[in-house]
Structure formats: C-alpha cells, structure tokens
Structure 1
Amino acid sequence: MTKVNKSGYSSVQVLDHALFRDMPPTLQQVLLRDAAVFHVQAGEVLFREGEDAVEYLYVLDGHVEVLRHTQEGQERVFQIFCPGQLLAETAMFMTHGRYPMEARARGDAVVQCLKRSGLIELVTGWPELSLRLLTRLSDRVYRRVNEMEWFSDSTAAQRLADYLLRLPCNPAGGVRMPLTQRQLAVHLGVRPETLSRLLADWVSQGLITGARRDWTLRDLTALEALVQSARRSF
C-alpha cells in the first residue's frame, strides 16, 4: 500500500458515516488518531484471514472485496464494499482478535485505515456509538438468517434471478456482474456447469442476452415472478 497525500482525500470524510455522524469533536480526535489514507493496487491484499485484527477500513475510492477460500481452493466472495462504506469494524470486537476473512482491492482503490484501539475507546466513552453498533449488528444478523433460509429453500434459478435483479441496472436493462462466472457459481452454491446451463437456457427463452459478465435483462417480469415465489415479505 502507498500512503496518499492528495487533497482530494480527506481523513475526516469518515465522520459523515452513519456510525460516526454528530460525534463530539473531542471524540473525533480519538477516532482519527493514527489514521492514514492509502492507495492500493488492483489485487492487493489489505489483510488476510487469521491475521491480528488491529485496523478497520473506510473505502474512499474504488472497491474492496472480502472473501474466503473454500477447501477446494475456490474463492467465495461475500461482499464488495463501495466508497463510503466501512469494513471489518465488527472484527474489532471478536474475542479471538483475528480477521475472519481476507480483504482485497478490486481494481485500484483508496482506503482509510482506522485503529481498533480508538474504536474500543469510543464505545466506552460515547454510548450513542454503542447503540448504533448494536443496531447495525442486529440488522446484519437478521439479514444473514434470511440469507441462510433463502439459500436452503430456493432453487439455483431463483438464486441467480435474485442476484441479477439486485445488480445496478441501466435504463436499457443492462447489468455487469462484479464476479466471474466461477466466483458467482461458488457464491450461489451451484456447479459452474449448472450456472452456464441456466444462463444458456434463459438466453434461449429470451429472458436475458449477453455473455461473460455483461448481460441485459429482457424480461424483468418473469425474473421477478421467479424470485417472489421464494422471497420473504420482510
């Protein structure tokens, strides 16, 4: 990583994050203590699974993905973080004190590294932050429970349709998959050949067109109907 000294990136941008908004000025100094802004190149690892969790990150520019490697050596990408998002802040409170996943730059990115020691000090000195963290963690647990249920009860076709419909879409229905098809197969819990066959079937049915990572959703109604039959109401 290369330390950044550009005027375009301010160390105080993180203060606009929902967790830290309206924080008293004296506590802002604690949050930003020893913080630094770094440029990371595409594919560069910011931290590895099992390393001591001493810092968490705020994405200023670009994208950072968090992943694990399966026993078969395949990559399972859990989430891709965008500018304005925090990652690994929950790892700062884990009893084993280690990162549970690996973080890697997805293309060139700029991140701010914030210290665990400052965050721990803040939660003891500002109860509002503790409440916000509890709310944030509770929402995550609820989402994960729903995801586990969805994963076990849905079909491969429903999971693929849901994934496509959640991607940013241009007015013409075009989407770009952030994952390779092999990574997507692991993410959806299907074999790569099953994913390829599903995509080919949907192309022949006129539901989608495209190839590799770039697709156009031609029949949103059909895809939505496929997903709604298995999706929870809340």
Structure 2
Amino acid sequence: MTKVNKSGHSPVQVLGHPLFQGMPPPMQQVLLRDAAVFHVQAGEVLFREGEDAVEYLYVLDGHVEVLRHTQEGQDRVFQIFQPGQLLAETAMFMTHGRYPMEARARGDAVVQCLKRSGITELVAAWPELALRLLTRLSDRVYHRVNEIEWLSDSTAAQRLADYLLRLPCDHAGIVRLPLTQRQLAAHLGVRPETLSRLLADWVSQGLITGARRDWALHDPAALETLVQSARRSF
C-alpha cells in the first residue's frame, strides 16, 4: 500500500490520548520517533492479518475498520475506530509479533503511524504507561468475556435490539447502520435471513421503519425491555 502524506494534522495530537497524557517531554520524543501522518483512501488496507506488527495507528480523521475474512469469503468487522482512537497498540506486545486482524480505511481517512520500538521502549522507561496499558487490556478482556456470554445466552432479537440502541441517532430517532446487513448478521452471530426476518417483523409491529442502512426507532422503550432481561448490570 502506498501512503501519501497530504494532511495538515500535527503528529503531537496523539499526546492527547489518555495513554499518553502527562508524558514527560523526553519520552514524547521517543513516542513520536519516526512517526508520520498519512492520508489513505477509502478501501485501502493499512495492514493485513499475519503481517509483522511493526507499527500501530492513531486515527486523526475518518474511520478505520478492523476485520477478518471468514471461510465463506465474507468480511467480519470487529470494530470501527473513530478519530481520537488508537488501534493495534496491543499487537505491539504479542509474542508472535503479527497483526491478528486486517485494518482498512472506511472512507477517506487520516492516520498517524507510530513505531513499535517507541512504545516498547517507553513501557520500560515510564511505569505509568505500563499501568495504563494493563488497565486498558484488563478492561478489554472483561468486555470480550461479556461479549462471549452475551452471544451464547441472548437471542438474535435481543442482540439486534441491543445493537440498534447503542447506535447514535439523530433528532428524528434515525440510526444509520455502519455495516451492511450481511456484515451485521455476521457481527451478531445470526444468519442473514434471520436478520432480514427480524427487521421485517419489527416493521410490521411498528417498532421501526426504514431500509438498508437507515432505520427510525419508533419504540426504543420496547426494544430496551427486550434487551434488559439478558443484559449484565456492569
């Protein structure tokens, strides 16, 4: 992939991230050593699953999705990263030294690439960073455990309702799906036909209206009631 620096974004913006706030100036220089800001076009792959994990990314503008390709040839999107978020920083510490997923620009985006050598050096030099990373990883492990339990104990309807309720909505109560319906079905662990049937059933019940990616939630309270019985309190 060819990366072309077209951005006026400053590399020091990453210092505002919670992991790096308050970092002493000499260590900031280590963090930013050989860092660069790049513009990437929609659909460009920033790194592929299995490649050597030599750098991690900070999203300055646009969105970056991380995904894996299923055996059926579909894209399973695990997360979409927004401006101000880091991705692949934990891959810098994996024993196999490879990226566990693929990262791809979702529309045009601006990212900052930071080197593995910098963050691994800083963990030894600044214990506060090690503690913050440990907290970050612990929270992620807990989140993933809850996700696994949720997928095994909840129904398809509960998973879809929970997903819709977590999306930002405009003043008219309309949410926009960031995934295609096929990708969403894979993300929720349901068959595409099941997802289509659920949406059609909820339309007929007057809970929602819409098509493709844009949906109006007419009765969020009913969806919340559906989810509440299966959702953990923390």
Structure 1 residue ranges without an equivalent (≥5): none
**SS of aligned partner of 2:72:** coil
Aligned length in residues: 233
Partner of 1:109: 109
Q: Give the drift of 1:171.
A: 1.7
Partner of 1:200: 200
Q: Give the drift of 1:82.
A: 0.1
Cα distance in 1 for residues equivalent to 2:4 and 2:34: 13
Q: Give the drift of 1:3.
A: 2.9
Cα distance in 1 for residues equivalent to 2:138 and 2:131: 10
Cα distance in 2 for residues equivalent to 1:214 and 1:5: 32
Is 1:34–1:115's contact at 8 Å kept on the other side of the alignment? Answer: yes
- Are 1:70 and 2:70 an aligned pair? yes
Is 2:6–2:39's contact at 8 Å kept on the other side of the alignment? Answer: no
Is 2:7–2:37's contact at 8 Å kept on the other side of the alignment? Answer: no
Q: Give the drift of 1:170.
A: 1.0
Q: Give the drift of 1:70.
A: 1.2
Partner of 1:144: 144
Cα distance in 2 for residues equivalent to 1:147 and 1:191: 18
Is 2:35–2:113's contact at 8 Å kept on the other side of the alignment? Answer: yes
* Structure 1 vs Structure 2 CA RMSD: 0.7
Partner of 1:22: 22
Structure 2 residue ranges without an equivalent (≥5): none
Cα distance in 1 for residues equivalent to 2:101 and 2:74: 14
Cα distance in 2 for residues equivalent to 1:92 and 1:230: 35
Partner of 2:50: 50
User: Aligned letter for 2:3?
Assistant: T
Q: Give the drift of 1:5.
A: 4.8
Q: Give the drift of 1:172.
A: 1.3
Cα distance in 1 for residues equivalent to 2:223 and 2:173: 12
**SS of aligned partner of 1:108:** strand
Listed one character per residue, the Cα deviations across residues 108-154 of structure 1 (whole Å, up to 9, x for unaligned) are 00000000000000000000000000000000000000010000000
Partner of 2:226: 226
Aligned structure 1 segments of 4 or more residues deviating by more than 4 angstroms: none
Cα distance in 2 for residues equivalent to 1:45 and 1:201: 37
User: Aligned letter for 1:24?
Assistant: P
User: Aligned letter for 1:3?
Assistant: V
Partner of 1:212: 212
TM-score (norm. length: structure 2): 0.98
**SS of aligned partner of 2:11:** coil
Partner of 2:5: 4
User: Aligned letter for 1:147?
Assistant: E
Cα distance in 2 for residues equivalent to 1:5 and 1:231: 44
Partner of 1:32: 32
Cα distance in 2 for residues equivalent to 1:187 and 1:3: 32
User: Aligned letter for 1:167?
Assistant: L
Greater mean alpha carbon deviation, residues 151-160 or residues 66-75: 66-75
TM-score (norm. length: structure 1): 0.98
